[in-house]
Structure 1
């Protein structure tokens, strides 16, 4: 059956069709005439018939790629293969333009901005560093040092300056002279790129001079300073120490750093590619200014003795610690000892707690040593006299609390002299009742309790003295016998110094003044003084305190042959920090006094924190007082008294 479509006869011009003449067919493909719209003749127009660039088309059994899209006319005209001159010309223009740009920039940098860039380069290469200066000394009143700086050398090598033939000798000599590791020295000698390698520090000048005389190349030294603390001065907690950078960190070293440090010099140094400094490349910009010396009121020998006597008793009684203060009546402190302490030459073996100056940082209840304020205020206010008599039972009820004496002597008729000599709690409370809370608090404030001492040393705690308006029922009797308040050792030493000074309180101090590098001495600022008691009241208290060291008193062990001694014992409960109560808190044993009682020269305050073997003030702290006071009187060349104290009536029936 024939198709509905007529068959087209074979076109003899198509590939594979025989020619009419019978010759071989022409195998070259014939181009088809193109339509005006660019499409092939006989192909429908539209999306389905559009040829994609590079797409294959099947024609008469063969496959061919469509022609790529021709370049834009401009590029065809510019980069025709047949016209290379234009391409060379355009490339040459671009190269010339770039060279002109570079030449212009180079001219700008070298011609117009040369100085600016040179300065910037210099700033990158040179740096200004500090030149160490001599730190001021801390000395006692006679100039004996507690802290001083000694000149040392930092030895370095410049590997580029070492002559090759001397290399082995440099390594050998450095190793032998300064007791160093040979491999480590060799590594520094061979370090590249480097111009500065520190070999060792802290070299004594004489040792460096001896090495320098060898004349080896590439080895140099810089001046530096090392802080030195003489052994066993016993003043570590007060003096403190400096850090690795030479700045004061603790104690007076830190507190007075601005005075001691001086002002560092300035030097320009060249910085090598690896960041090391080349000290010989720069110049000195500013000379260093040495610091000022600080002269203390301390006496080196008395400080040493106080430290040893305190440490021996702390260890003997297995106490937690202790403090000892030695001063003059005018508040100049001759010794400030604290135990346990630490070695300034081995800071790494201590802790921040060890660095604390317990003489001002640790507070405690003063106990019976506070009774001098209670009785002194009564004498000053005229409510009692030394001969006034009180009926003193062994114990008494006060609101909801029972107060007792330390010994049961029954009911006695004691004079105020006797109340002080026997350290009667009940008798002191009766005297405090006559004084009243407001007046008693006012005298405690004037004696310096509950506020800073004026000493101006770091770490001081002011203690606690509550306002009398906040006192409850038993606060007055408690405070009158030294409980319910807290003080530091310097505060209580100041109380007894005030009595020894005829009733005038002068702020305590440890700083006598400063000494300039030229040797000029500048005294410390004048200290504030306050009249607390009249001379008459102070003299009466002094006689009462002498009775404490008599055979009838609580501290006969504090007596010193040839000298009249006035003093007072103190025993107080300690608060347990874990429970906040007195139970299992232990005790604080204290003794404070002065000598000679008739013409006071030396005041001593001793505190022992929680002694285990003996905790009463007279037994525990009294011997330390005696030991330190005896030494101080001899050291200060105080002549013996030469006469006995007057007899005091302690009981009513005594005549």
Structure 2
């Protein structure tokens, strides 16, 4: 009986095991297909589908004559699916031989990640892409992207700025107008086959890419190029540490050229020092020296405290407490106010300034825009350093009247000069003339913006005449241009010691700011040369540079030479 029962078990056992196996399989299928269906469907979709964010084409930037100065060019970004890479060490080595040996560790760590998508290198050249394609490496792919390119290299680099790897603005107008230039990102869906390869032509647009808006600058590439050439030459000749220059339309506030030397190539901005990349024309704070006498003169003339013919005795020196102020050369004679300015007499201008109350003088300093940002559409502008009268010591009033003990930027000086000679209108400077749609239609156009009226037309006219004498008869003679009446003012300033005690011995800043033509100014500008070796006087170092620049710029502006009727005062 027991033998028969054992025989039955042996006969039915295989069938029982088979049915049990089918039962387990059925249960597992039920679990996978019904209970865990959504989980695995999502997993499969993640393996087969990838959503990629696509950056929009950044808006092109043009100069005022619609010459492209910041454009987009084709480039390729390489990605990998690490889960499909069997030998990351070998692939990393082969990629590094093309991308650069220093990239090997980054590539290797990326290939070892437990991900289905990683970036390997962004925006590589077409040549490098073709080299990598020939290697036929597993798990790699390419996505075409746009790369920012600056065709003029260093030209107007401090105006343009630069962008990061994702085309985000990091400096200059690229940063200031990021919202307008960037556009809106799009999204595409890519599908993979059973082997994990992206299926060609399987892209599905999820969100449409919206291109960025375009910018038209006030900068004129031809004028910018001239200024850069002359400033570079000046650095070479003088052996100076650096130089800045700004030229603008004094009647509108449009910046025609803005130059810093040394400069940088925004295509490779990371190869340059922070000093070279710094927009010193709007950030460098310095004591202006005698160029500030234009502001002191404007205040005196507007208040009716002096006239061009008023005579003042210019002593060999003035003493304020234990502080002695002398002239750059000993005059020791009577001079009228015009002579005081064109001879740049510190003693004369200080004695004239003493006719003002210090609060009155301070009012004009502030009204001309010092101690505040001008509001230019560029990032990082400095506001300068201006002490209120309540904090002035005995020597501050006389020193400030000759451009010492006050901190300004080159931009503030040329904006103030423009107000002094354009009829008294302080204008906001700007570098973007208009904003265009991606199709080139004008969306927004910038117009002159009056901040405030600082002096009368009459005072402005008198100032123009006095500053014309500076060039014709005085310290600014080396800025003179045949056939063009030029006005301006020289400046030679010491550099304050970092510890706040006195000045650095033997270190100077030479500058010249001016305008032309005198009767109806079409351009105003400033040249600032920091720490020239050897001769350091503004009239000797900066004035000739200014003159050469204007002699080349004025014909481009359509200003014809004229015959001057000159009557000496």
Is the TM value for this pair above 0.5? Answer: yes
Provide closer, same or farther for how the CA distance between residues 259 and 584 of structure 1 changes in structure 2, counting only shifts above 3 A.
same
Q: CA deviation at 1:344?
A: 2.4
Q: CA deviation at 1:466?
A: 0.8
Q: Which has the higher contact order (CA 8 A, sep 6+)?
A: 2
1:377-392 alignment, distance < 5 Å: 377-392=299-314
Q: Aligned partners of 2:164, 2:99: CA distance in 1, in Å?
A: 25
Q: Aligned partners of 1:199, 1:367: CA distance in 2, in Å?
A: 49
| Alignment counterpart, residue 400 of structure 1, candidates 307, 315, 322 | 322
Provide closer, same or farther for how the CA distance between residues 379 and 307 of structure 1 changes in structure 2, counting only shifts above 3 A.
same
What per-residue deviation string (whole Å, max 9, x for no partner) do you get for residues 415-436 of structure 1? Answer: 2111111111111111211112
SS at the partner of 2:313? strand
| Alignment counterpart, residue 141 of structure 1, candidates 53, 64, 74 | 64
Q: CA deviation at 1:219?
A: 12
- Matching residue of 1:631: 552
Instruction: Decide whether the 8 Å contact of 1:146 with 1:233 is kept in 2.
Output: no
| Alignment counterpart, residue 640 of structure 1, candidates 542, 551, 561 | 561
For the pair 1:110 / 2:33, whether they are aligned, the reply is yes
SS at the partner of 1:345? helix
Q: Aligned partners of 1:492, 1:200: CA distance in 2, in Å?
A: 42
For the pair 1:376 / 2:298, whether they are aligned, the reply is yes
For the pair 1:544 / 2:441, whether they are aligned, the reply is no
Number of matched pairs: 526
- Matching residue of 2:95: none
Instruction: Decide whether the 8 Å contact of 2:314 with 2:331 is kept in 1.
Output: no
Q: Aligned partners of 1:472, 1:157: CA distance in 2, in Å?
A: 68
| Alignment counterpart, residue 416 of structure 1, candidates 337, 342, 346 | 337
Q: Aligned partners of 2:195, 2:379: CA distance in 1, in Å?
A: 43
Instruction: Decide whether the 8 Å contact of 1:135 with 1:261 is kept in 2.
Output: yes
Q: CA deviation at 1:461?
A: 1.6
Q: Aligned partners of 1:631, 1:616: CA distance in 2, in Å?
A: 23
Provide closer, same or farther for how the CA distance between residues 320 and 398 of structure 1 changes in structure 2, counting only shifts above 3 A.
same
Instruction: Decide whether the 8 Å contact of 1:572 with 1:587 is kept in 2.
Output: yes
Q: CA deviation at 1:105?
A: 6.4
1:455-466 alignment, distance < 5 Å: 455-466=376-387
Q: Aligned partners of 2:372, 2:271: CA distance in 1, in Å?
A: 34
The answer for unaligned runs of 5 or more in structure 2 is: 82-97, 105-110, 134-138
Q: Aligned partners of 1:352, 1:583: CA distance in 2, in Å?
A: 23
Q: Aligned partners of 1:448, 1:200: CA distance in 2, in Å?
A: 44
What per-residue deviation string (whole Å, max 9, x for no partner) do you get for residues 162-208 of structure 1? Answer: xxxxxxxxxxxxxxxx999xxx9xxxxxx9x999999994339xx99
1:448-597 alignment, distance < 5 Å: 448-524=369-445, 526=447, 527-551=449-473, 553-577=474-498, 580-584=501-505, 586-597=507-518
Provide closer, same or farther for how the CA distance between residues 414 and 585 of structure 1 changes in structure 2, counting only shifts above 3 A.
same
Q: CA deviation at 1:113?
A: 6.0
Q: CA deviation at 1:453?
A: 1.1
| Alignment counterpart, residue 443 of structure 1, candidates 364, 374, 381 | 364
Q: CA deviation at 1:119?
A: 3.7
1:31-110 alignment, distance < 5 Å: 103=26, 106-107=29-30, 109-110=32-33
Provide closer, same or farther for how the CA distance between residues 198 and 147 of structure 1 changes in structure 2, counting only shifts above 3 A.
closer
Q: Aligned partners of 1:371, 1:562: CA distance in 2, in Å?
A: 27
Q: Aligned partners of 2:33, 2:160: CA distance in 1, in Å?
A: 59
Provide closer, same or farther for how the CA distance between residues 111 and 227 of structure 1 changes in structure 2, counting only shifts above 3 A.
same
Provide closer, same or farther for how the CA distance between residues 201 and 472 of structure 1 changes in structure 2, counting only shifts above 3 A.
closer
SS at the partner of 1:346? helix
Provide closer, same or farther for how the CA distance between residues 618 and 131 of structure 1 changes in structure 2, counting only shifts above 3 A.
same
Q: Aligned partners of 1:466, 1:292: CA distance in 2, in Å?
A: 42
- Matching residue of 2:174: 253
Q: Aligned partners of 1:195, 1:630: CA distance in 2, in Å?
A: 59
Which range is displaced more, 114-123 or 511-520? Answer: 114-123
TM-score (normalizing by structure 1): 0.73
Provide closer, same or farther for how the CA distance between residues 277 and 644 of structure 1 changes in structure 2, counting only shifts above 3 A.
farther
Which range is displaced more, 435-444 or 193-202? Answer: 193-202
1:57-456 alignment, distance < 5 Å: 103=26, 106-107=29-30, 109-111=32-34, 114=37, 117-152=40-75, 201-203=124-126, 222-232=143-153, 234-270=155-191, 280-329=201-250, 330-410=252-332, 412-456=333-377
Q: CA deviation at 1:627?
A: 1.1
SS at the partner of 1:434? coil
Q: CA deviation at 1:132?
A: 3.6
Instruction: Decide whether the 8 Å contact of 2:249 with 2:522 is kept in 1.
Output: yes
SS at the partner of 1:435? coil
What per-residue deviation string (whole Å, max 9, x for no partner) do you get for residues 331-353 of structure 1? Answer: 11000010011222333431222
SS at the partner of 1:584? strand
Larger radius of gyration between Structure 1 and Structure 2: 1
Which range is displaced more, 471-480 or 433-442? Answer: 433-442
Provide closer, same or farther for how the CA distance between residues 100 and 336 of structure 1 changes in structure 2, counting only shifts above 3 A.
same
Provide closer, same or farther for how the CA distance between residues 94 and 464 of structure 1 changes in structure 2, counting only shifts above 3 A.
farther
Instruction: Decide whether the 8 Å contact of 2:123 with 2:147 is kept in 1.
Output: no
- Matching residue of 1:601: 522
Instruction: Decide whether the 8 Å contact of 1:127 with 1:270 is kept in 2.
Output: yes
Instruction: Decide whether the 8 Å contact of 1:437 with 1:468 is kept in 2.
Output: yes
Q: CA deviation at 1:224?
A: 2.2
Q: CA deviation at 1:274?
A: 10
SS at the partner of 1:225? strand
